[in-house]
A and B are shown apart, each in its own frame.
Chain A
Amino acid sequence: MAEMDTSSGGGHKKGPGVKKAKKLSTRVDLTPMVDLGFLLITFFVFTTTMSKPTAMNMNEPKDDPENQLKVKNSGAMTILLGKNDQVYYYMGELTNATEQFKSTNFKDVRDIILDKKKNTPMDDLMYIIKADKESTFKNAIDILDEMSINTVPPGHYAEVDISDTEAELIKQTESANGIK
Chain B
Amino acid sequence: MGRAKIPRKSTNIDMTAMCDVAFLLLSFFILATKQKPPEAVAVNAPTSVSSKVAPEDAILITLTKEGKVFLMLGDDTRKTDILDKLNTNKNLGLSESELKKLGKLSFIGMPLGAIKSALTAGQDIPADKLPGIPITDSTNNELVDWMRSINDAYAGSDLKQLEEKIVIKGDNFAKYPAFKNIKYALKKNNIFKFRIATNSETVPVGSELYNTNRSAAESGQK
Contact B15 A58 (CB under 8 A): no
Give every chain A residue within 8 A of B12 (Cβ-Cβ): 1
Tell me which of B110-118, B125-133, B154-162, B194-202 binds A: B194-202
Contact B176 A132 (CB under 8 A): yes
Tell me which of A14-22, A66-74, A147-155 binds B: A147-155
Given that A48-B33, A141-B48 are contacting pairs, would A136 and B173 also be in contact in the complex, using a CB cutoff of 8 Å? Answer: yes
Give every chain B residue within 8 A of A151 (Cβ-Cβ): 208-209, 212
B89 is an interface residue with CB less than 8 A from chain A: no
Contact A137 B176 (CB under 8 A): yes
Given that A33-B15, A53-B45, A53-B198 are contacting pairs, would A59 and B192 also be in contact in the complex, using a CB cutoff of 8 Å? Answer: yes
Give every chain A residue within 8 A of B92 (Cβ-Cβ): none
Contact A30 B19 (CB under 8 A): yes
Give every chain A residue within 8 A of B195 (Cβ-Cβ): 55-58
Most interface-central of A1, A51, A137 (chain B CB within 10 A): A137
Complex CA gap A148/B208 in Å reads: 9
- A contact residues, range: 35 or more
Most interface-central of B12, B15, B18 (chain A CB within 10 A): B15
A61 is an interface residue with CB less than 8 A from chain B: yes
Tell me which of B1-9, B23-31, B145-153 binds A: B23-31
Residues of B23-79 whose CB lies within 8 A of A: 23, 25-26, 29-30, 32-34, 36, 45-55, 63
Most interface-central of A33, A81, A114, A134 (chain B CB within 10 A): A33
B207 is an interface residue with CB less than 8 A from chain A: yes
Give every chain A residue within 8 A of B204 (Cβ-Cβ): 110, 149
A3-25 to B contact mask, C-beta < 8 Å, 1/0: 00000000000000000000000
Complex CA gap A81/B180 in Å reads: 14
Give every chain A residue within 8 A of B198 (Cβ-Cβ): 53-56, 141, 145
Partner of B50, one of A38, A49, A56: A56
Residues of A24-55 whose CB lies within 8 A of B: 29-31, 33-34, 37-38, 40-41, 44-45, 47-49, 51-55
Contact B192 A62 (CB under 8 A): yes
Partner of B16, one of A30, A45, A51, A131: A30
Tell me which of B99-107, B135-143, B164-172 binds A: B164-172
CB closest residue in chain A, given B55: A55
Give every chain A residue within 8 A of B53 (Cβ-Cβ): 52-55
Contact B49 A148 (CB under 8 A): yes
Kindly provide the distance from the CB of A152 to the nearest chain B CB, expressed in whole angstroms.
Answer: 9
Kindly provide the distance from the CB of A163 to the nearest chain B CB, expressed in whole angstroms.
Answer: 14
Contact B15 A137 (CB under 8 A): no
Contact B26 A40 (CB under 8 A): yes
A135 is an interface residue with CB less than 8 A from chain B: yes
Complex CA gap A132/B179 in Å reads: 12
Partner of B52, one of A56, A131, A133, A139: A56
Give every chain B residue within 8 A of A52 (Cβ-Cβ): 53-54, 200
Partner of B32, one of A1, A31, A48, A141: A48
Contact A33 B46 (CB under 8 A): no
A60 is an interface residue with CB less than 8 A from chain B: yes
Give every chain B residue within 8 A of A53 (Cβ-Cβ): 45, 53-54, 197-200
Contact A41 B29 (CB under 8 A): yes
Interface residues of A, Cβ cutoff 8 Å to B: 1, 29-31, 33-34, 37-38, 40-41, 44-45, 47-49, 51-63, 81, 110, 114, 131-142, 144-145, 148-151, 161
